[in-house]
Amino acid sequence: MPLVYIFIVLFFIAYGCYFIFVENNSIHGIHFLVLAMYFYVTLNDILKRPVQKVFYIILILLLLLDGILNFLSFPSNVISGFISIFFAYVTWHNYKRLKIKSN
């Protein structure tokens, strides 16, 4: 299972760099890089090595901003916006779970 997440993270990083540097489409590139960050955090959760809580808060804010940007930038990016906001919701629940465990 972790190998699948490693492949997903590497794929999204490569795809994000492709959109930023080759296609000159920074909105899609940033979207894929933020998704790579989400899957990296999820991979660390699966491996029982959670990242710092501040990183969760930054990721939640980035995913929310990415979702709003996808909603407002192009009408065809509505699904990407919903995916980003859904991942922000899941990350928020993971953050709350870690916060409860540490207390």
Tens digit of pLDDT for each residue in 3-60?
A: 999 999 999 999 999 999 999 888 889 999 999 999 999 999 999 888 888 999 999 9
Would you kindly state where each structural domain of the chain is located, as residue ranges? 2-102
DSSP designation for 48: T
Q: What is the pLDDT of residue 71?
A: 86
| CA distances in angstroms from 23 to 18, 20, 43, 75, 79, listed in the order given | 7, 6, 28, 19, 21
Cβ atoms 40, 56 nearer than 8 A: no
Where does the chain have alpha helices with state H? 2-21, 26-46, 53-73, 78-102
Q: What is the pLDDT of residue 103?
A: 67
Tens digit of pLDDT for each residue in 26-37?
A: 888 999 999 999
Q: What is the pLDDT of residue 28?
A: 87
2 pLDDT band (50/70/90 cuts)?
confident
Token duo for residue 99: 């916060």
